[in-house]
Structure 1
Amino acid sequence: MVIYLLLIYAIIVVIDPYGLLKQGKKRDFYVCSALCLVSFSLAFALSMHWDIPSPSPTIIYMVKKLF
């Protein structure tokens, strides 16, 4: 499963962000690269069957602080 994940993300990284950089859209390239890194990290953790903590309690706490 990890091998498939690496191959798919390698294809995505070569096609998507590189085209933005080639068009001269540096800001879009950096945002796309950061989001791709976050997405890859989460997908890798899920493929390794690691527990990912839920951000829900933190979000609930922050919303309660607002009101």
Structure 2
Amino acid sequence: MTVPVYIVLIYAFIVWIDPYGLLKQGKKRDFYMCSALCLISFSLAFSLAMDWEIPSPSPPIVWLVKQLF
């Protein structure tokens, strides 16, 4: 159960350093994009650390490519 704790601590450190610095520099659009990507990354890392099953995006991608050709 310690792996999720490490994940949360690592991401808290990353969020404190990276997006906050962008906001202080006045780069609001970069801040919002970085925050959104960080949230997605955190969600996936936490889900994997908790051994939750994540659905594969492959079937929709395969369907989309088949529709193009």
Is the shorter-chain TM-score for this pair beyond 0.5, marking a shared fold?
Answer: yes
TM-score, with length taken from structure 1: 0.98
Other-structure match for 1:20: 22
The 2-side partners of 1:9 and 1:35 are apart by 12
Give 5+ residue unaligned stretches, structure 2.
none
Shift of 1:6: 0.6
Runs of 4+ in 1 over 6 A off after TM superposition: none
What's the secondary structure of 1:54's corresponding residue? coil
Distance 1:34 1:15 in 2: 15
State the distance in 2 between where 1:10 and 1:59 align: 32
Using the size of structure 2 for normalisation, the TM-score is 0.95
1:66 Cα deviation from its structure 2 partner: 0.8
CA RMSD of aligned residues (A): 0.4
2:66 maps to a residue whose letter is: K
Percent identity over the alignment is 73
Q: Which 5+ residue runs of structure 1 have no aligned equivalent? A: none
Q: How many residues align?
A: 67
Quote how far apart the aligned CAs of 1:43 are.
Answer: 0.3
